[in-house]
Amino acid sequence: VTAETSDLYRRLLGAADMNAAFSDASLLAAALEFEAALAEAEAECAVIPADAARVIAEVARGFRPDAAALAEAGARAGTLAIPLVGALTGAVKARDAGAAAWVHFGSTSQDLADTALVLMLREAARLLDDDLDRAETACAILEETHRGSVMLSRTLMQPAPPTTFGFRAGGWGAAIGAARAGLRRASVEAVRLQFGGAAGTLGAFGRDGGRVAAAVGRRLGLAVPERPWHTARGELVMFGAAAGVAVGALAKIARDVTLLMQYEIGEVFEPTGEGRGGSSAMPHKRNPSGSMVALAAQTRVPGLVASLLAGMVQELDRGVGGWQGEWLTLPQIFEAAGGAAHAMAEVLEGLDVRPERMRANLDAALGLVYSERVSLRLAGVLGRQEAKDAVAAACKAVAATGRPLAEMLAEDGRVAGALGADGIAELTRPEGYLGLADY
């Protein structure tokens, strides 16, 4: 614990591997890898001497700069690149004074920062996809296991016609799958080399800029866009928005879990485990601590995506403020998403499902949720208005007596006459009324 680091809550609401993807160590490694690839590519294109490139690349890849000193110098300079390139140049010079002249040749601060960001995002996307994959797979298993687990649907948090837990879990998984697809589409657009030099024109390379860019991109495994995107941040923003949508899909599941896990409902529970979801005050408590992480992410991420969008107004050839805001906002979005995905993967993989409580809760709703169904069938016999009135009266009687709808309907002569005892029985059980959930 030093006076500077602040990682406790970041860890509580995040995932260790995703946090590591955006650590200072990762940032510096990515930035130095850019410098190494840049030197090698420039040598390949005969822009700088091959010997110099070899030294630069080797030194860069082994360089472990003093992050605290860089932070202080960077805070003065307003950019990480100046002190980092300075320190790297010093280290190269110590090995080969001539090579030092070629460090960062023809590049600019934003090339380094953006490309490092993109390299970190590539790893982040991989980690996020892994946990989303786990969550989606867990949903598929739940769907398969529980296609017959009939339960209440609940609209506006009130009982509604029956569904199955399998169908619900399938919907959860489909939303995760759609979010993954969105992330992949966005990633293809966003994870690209940034390389434009001082003015975004690669002017230092004359007509060779495109060739050098292609060589840098190839070495880093990054696509090379037609032109630098120093001030065109739309692809990056869509990537962040796609992560935000993933958080939303996870948080929707988390909200459902917290609702279904209420003591009075008790239809699903988060997995237990050593140290999970306890309470500092109440030994008995089983808190939805995984869902909490996803819901905390959802509390934070919409605003963070707004910050990303707000930064799009970049002044002319390099923005003042809009660009730099991304340095913290994008990692925060992906760390929140990583935390949510990791937590919900664990929740879904270990979800404790109680089909018997689902059925009991459905029965306890006394058949009121079949009222629409009865009403529609009755309308064909009695006409819409009379059907509606009869069903409404029966529902009222249910509320007053606490007896099930089927009994109340049977006691209404018109209804009993219209539907018969078998008809009433058939219309007030979930079977045959599950629609898409019956598959």
What is the footprint of its own copies within residues 264-303 (CB under 8 A)?
264-265, 273-303
Is residue 6 near its own copies by the rule CB under 8 A? yes
Total of residues contacting its own copies (CB under 8 A): 203
The minimum distance between CB 357 and its own copies, in angstroms, equals 10
Residue 368 DSSP symbol: G
Question: H or E stretch including 19?
Answer: helix 16-21
Is residue 217 near its own copies by the rule CB under 8 A? no
The minimum distance between CB 292 and its own copies, in angstroms, equals 5
Among 148, 234, 417, 420, binds its own copies (CB under 8 A): 234
Among 88, 118, 215, 331, binds its own copies (CB under 8 A): 331
Binding to its own copies, residues 64-103 (CB under 8 A): 64, 67, 70-83, 85, 89, 97-98, 100-101
| DSSP E strands, 179-270 | 268-269
Judged by CB under 8 A, the stretch of 138-146, 197-205, 214-222, 413-421 that binds its own copies is: 197-205
318, 354, 373, 377: the catalytic one is: 318
Buried b (16+ CB within 10 A) or exposed e, 225-243: beebbbbebebbbbbbbbb
Is residue 108 near its own copies by the rule CB under 8 A? yes
Judged by CB under 8 A, the stretch of 26-34, 134-142, 347-355, 408-416 that binds its own copies is: 26-34
Nearest-angstrom CA–CA distance, 304 and 310: 10
The minimum distance between CB 218 and its own copies, in angstroms, equals 18
Nearest-angstrom CA–CA distance, 145 and 431: 18
11, 64, 279, 403: the catalytic one is: 279
Cα distances from 109 to residues 115, 117, 214, in angstroms, run: 10, 12, 19
Please, are residues 79 and 73 in contact by the beta-carbon 8 Å criterion? no
Tokens of 399: 């509320």
Residue 79 DSSP symbol: S
Residue 280 among the catalytic residues: no
Q: Which residue has the tokens 């110099």?
A: 52
Is the CB of 39 or the CB of 296 nearer to its own copies? 296
Binding to its own copies, residues 402-431 (CB under 8 A): none
Among 62, 144, 155, 417, binds its own copies (CB under 8 A): 155
Is the CB of 108 or the CB of 115 nearer to its own copies? 108
Tokens of 292: 């909490």
Is the CB of 217 or the CB of 288 nearer to its own copies? 288
List phi, psi (to 5°) of 225: -75, 165
HSE of 310, CA atoms in CB hemisphere, 13 A: 12
Among 105, 134, 166, 194, binds its own copies (CB under 8 A): 105
Nearest-angstrom CA–CA distance, 329 and 304: 6
Is residue 353 near its own copies by the rule CB under 8 A? no
Is residue 322 near its own copies by the rule CB under 8 A? yes
Among 54, 122, 218, 227, binds its own copies (CB under 8 A): 227
Among 166, 217, 244, 338, binds its own copies (CB under 8 A): 244
Largest CA distance in the chain: 102
Binding to its own copies, residues 113-152 (CB under 8 A): none
Question: H or E stretch including 153?
Answer: strand 150-155
Nearest-angstrom CA–CA distance, 171 and 1: 43
Please, are residues 267 and 258 in contact by the beta-carbon 8 Å criterion? no
Residue 318 among the catalytic residues: yes
Catalytic residues: 279, 318
